[in-house]
Amino acid sequence: MPEEHADSGNPGRSWLERITQFFSAEPTSREDLLGLIRSLRGRDVLDADTLGILEGALEVSNLQVREIMVPRAQMISIRANSHPREFLPVVIECAHSRFPVLGDDPDEVLGVLLAKDLLPLVLDPARMERFSIKDHIRPAFIIPESKRLDSLLRDFRDNHNHMAIVVNEYGGVAGLVTIEDVLEQIVGDIEDETDVADDDYLIRELEHDEYTVQALIPIEDFNDHFGSQFSDDEFDTIGGLVMQQFGRLPERDESVTIGDFSFTVLSADARTIRLLRVTPPRALKN
């Protein structure tokens, strides 16, 4: 029996050995390589999950950080001069593990604060009064928007970082990116026990008929959820509508009533509102 017939009939070969056989054509471009890999799926050499991972691994070399980062307007950050009583509710609500720490200038990145370093404050109120955020922040990993994802993944691995602050060409903060964001480009969405559906994240019900609402939620989606009739002719998001009512950028804990809804600012930076507490009219009338 010819050797190649013996090999093709051997079910014990690994998938890597079978791929190597097909690679004898020596693809000369990324498109050729993708086409060859996809042909293996058609030959039942690869399953759909493995094919997706291989395609994702090739794709990260073609993507830049700016294409997957969390933009500045959606970052949850902490001001260095704020007291734990001010930022702990936001830390608990968003359930992130790391937070950029900013100075008086929102483009001044002082470092990164880990949520686990705040646990002793919950158990010891006296320690909260003595807390100095500058004693707990860790160095920030700063990268440009143009950095390629494959290079960033190597940096995350070599430097043992899990988050990077992204800056634009002028040195201003453009957003942030995590190692999970990069890995999801390869293996797909990674969910853990704290993840919730997108709708639940944008609107989350609290006790006493109150809700937390991400300020970036479209007004149309807000109306659909609460049965309200706010106009989206001038603004796309509920945060824009609230800011218009204030006539300025509000500070944390400031409240305003629009129609029959009460809105309280839970988180805002120097440019935009990020998180709101909403009391709908049914609760207001109780």
Amino acid at 234: E
Residue 45 pLDDT class (50, 70, 90 cuts): low
Does residue 2 have a pLDDT over 80? no
Alpha-carbon gap, residue 223 to 200, rounded angstroms: 15
> Is 50 exceeded by the pLDDT of residue 116?
yes
Question: Does residue 199 carry a pLDDT above 50?
Answer: no
Q: Which of 34-48, 62-76, 268-282 has the lowest mean pLDDT?
A: 34-48
**Alpha helical stretches, state H, the chain:** 3-8, 15-22, 30-42, 48-60, 84-94, 119-123, 125-130, 149-159, 179-187, 198-202, 219-226, 238-246, 281-285
- What's at 197, amino acid-wise? A
Query: Where residue 220 falls among pLDDT bands split at 50, 70, 90?
Result: very high
Least confident residue range of 12-26, 36-50, 52-66:
12-26
Domains of the chain: 3-46 (no CATH), 66-187 (3.10.580.10), 198-285 (3.30.465.10)
Q: Are 71 and 174 in contact (CB under 8 A)?
A: yes
Per the structure block, which two tokens stand in for 85?
């009583």
Identify the pLDDT of residue 194. Answer: 46
For residue 234, give Cα distances in angstroms to 202, 231, 240, 272: 21, 8, 9, 16
Assess whether pLDDT exceeds 60 at residue 197.
Answer: no
In this predicted structure, the answer to whether residue 135 has a pLDDT above a threshold of 60 is: yes
Among 240-249, 251-260, 266-275, name the one with the lowest average pLDDT. Answer: 266-275
**Is residue 278 within 8 Å of 206, Cβ to Cβ?**
no
The model's confidence at residue 95, banded by pLDDT at 50, 70 and 90, is: confident
**CA angle 243–248–249, rounded 5-degree value:** 70
Q: What is the pTM of this model?
A: 0.57
CA distance 101 to 76: 10
**CA 115, CA 183: separation in Å to the nearest integer?**
22
70, 122, 170, 222, 245 from 164: Cα distances, Å: 11, 27, 17, 32, 35
